[in-house]
Amino acid sequence: MEKKMLFLFNPKAGRSEIKNSLADILNIFTKGNYEVLVHPSQSRQDIEETIVRKGADFDLVVTCGGDGSLNEAINGLMRLGNQAPELGYIPTGTVNDFAASHRISKNMLVAARDIVSGSVVETDIGCFNGRYFSYVAAFGAFTDVSYETPQVAKNRFGKNAYILEGIKRIPLLSSYHVVAETDDDEVIEDDVIFGMISNAISVGGFKLARSYDVTMDDGFFEVVFVKKALIDFFNASVMLNALLHPNSDNVYTLRAKKVHVRCEDGLSWTLDGEDGGSCTEATIENIKRSIRIRVPS
């Protein structure tokens, strides 16, 4: 029996390779016995709202784009609750951290074939003040680079565009006095330059250290705060080293199901590499095994 697929794609993500591969992708899905409804994203939040309106009528929702497009798909599916179908993901963005964490190929045709022939796993999703995210909520040093970098630069230079934009922000780095409390009553209060609550083995295109012991379906976040340091290029390198090698005096690391973060001066957050808005308090909760996603077998 033919199954129904809702295929949504962002024509502007990454270097727009989808334009050259769309026919081949649809051919793979059709041969996989899917009747496919194709929807190119028209504007911000269009993927999310389209899934909310139509997703419950399909066996499978597939989104093709970067981490921002995936974030919209996740929010749409979470809003559907028990009516949510399975999710397939074809990454075409600049970094694609979620795909790396789930072994999803960056080759669009391979990713499409894996959606048809792969297996289904349940994965954790984060909730940030009622807004869902797939793999990371972060604030502080360099976290705005992914959405402040011009799309034309990302298309031309790929991940290097982020590095160039980050260098421009070094003189603007600041510290923040934060109080963070976890569900098991652990409290951190300090001046920090960076904070990250994640469920991923790759963030910003960099693989985190194995000592973080990341599991995508255990109901726990990996929580990182980098302490205030002299804000110069050397210490920006120290910050990156602290993330990759967490056994450091410069960084707090812990695991938690729920985190409440306060900062009287307010924090500007990034959710899955997109602008998450500013607030003085944020509650970030792990929703265990809440999305079913197709991954390579």
For residue 239, the one-letter residue type is M
CATH of the domain at 104: 3.40.50.10330
CATH of residue 165's domain is 2.60.200.40
Query: What is the per-residue pLDDT for 180?
Result: 98
**Spatial CA neighbour of 55 closest among 34, 73, 28:** 73
* 273 and 158 inside one domain: yes
What would the two tokens of residue 111 be?
A: 């990713």
Q: Which two tokens stand for residue 98?
A: 């979620």
Q: State which residues of the chain have pLDDT below 50.
A: 145-168, 171, 211, 230, 233-234
Residue 127 counted as domain residue: no
State the pLDDT at residue 160: 40
C-alpha pair distances (Å), 6 with each of 34, 41, 130, 204 = 10, 12, 25, 29
- Asked if 83 and 138 sit in the same domain, the reply is no
Pair (137, 283) in one structural domain: yes
User: Does 296 map to a domain?
Assistant: no
Q: How confident is the model at residue 177, as a pLDDT?
A: 96
Residue type, 126: G
Residue ranges of E strands in the chain: 3-9, 34-40, 60-65, 86-91, 119-128, 131-133, 136-140, 176-182, 187-198, 202-203, 206-207, 221-227, 251-256, 258-271, 274-295
For residue 90, give the 3-state DSSP assignment.
strand
> Could you tell me if 228 and 162 lie in one domain?
yes
Q: How far apart are CA 193 and CA 140, in angstroms?
A: 5
Distance in angstroms (rounded) separating the CA atoms of residues 178 and 191: 6
Examine residue 249 and state whether it is found in any structural domain, yes or no.
yes
- The closest of 118, 121, 79 to 217, measured between CA atoms, is 121
Full residue range of the structural domain in which residue 270 is found? 132-289
Cβ atoms of residues 136 and 197 within 8 Å = yes
Clarify whether residues 141 and 251 are in a common domain: yes
What is the helix, strand, coil percentage profile of the chain, to 5? 35, 40, 30
**Boundary (domain end) residue, out of 65, 84, 117:** 117
Amino acid identity of residue 11, one-letter, is P
- 92, 117, 142 - which closes a domain: 117
pLDDT for residue 240 = 57
Same domain, 109 and 213: no
- In terms of domains, do 112 and 252 share one? no
- Residues 30 and 152 both lie in one domain: no
297 within a domain of the structure (yes/no)? no
User: Cα(99)–Cα(90) distance, rounded to whole angstroms?
Assistant: 8
| Cβ partners under 8 Å of residue 265, min gap 6 | 176, 177, 280
Residue 158: predicted pLDDT: 45
Other CB atoms within a 10 A radius of the CB of residue 76 amount to 26
Total domain count, the chain: 2
Please say whether the beta carbons of 226 and 251 come within 8 A. Answer: yes
Q: What is the dihedral of CA 91, 97, 101, 103, to 10 degrees?
A: 30
Structure tokens at 2: 């033919």
| Eight-state DSSP code of residue 155 | H
* CB proximity list for 16: less than 8 A, separation 6 or greater: 92, 155
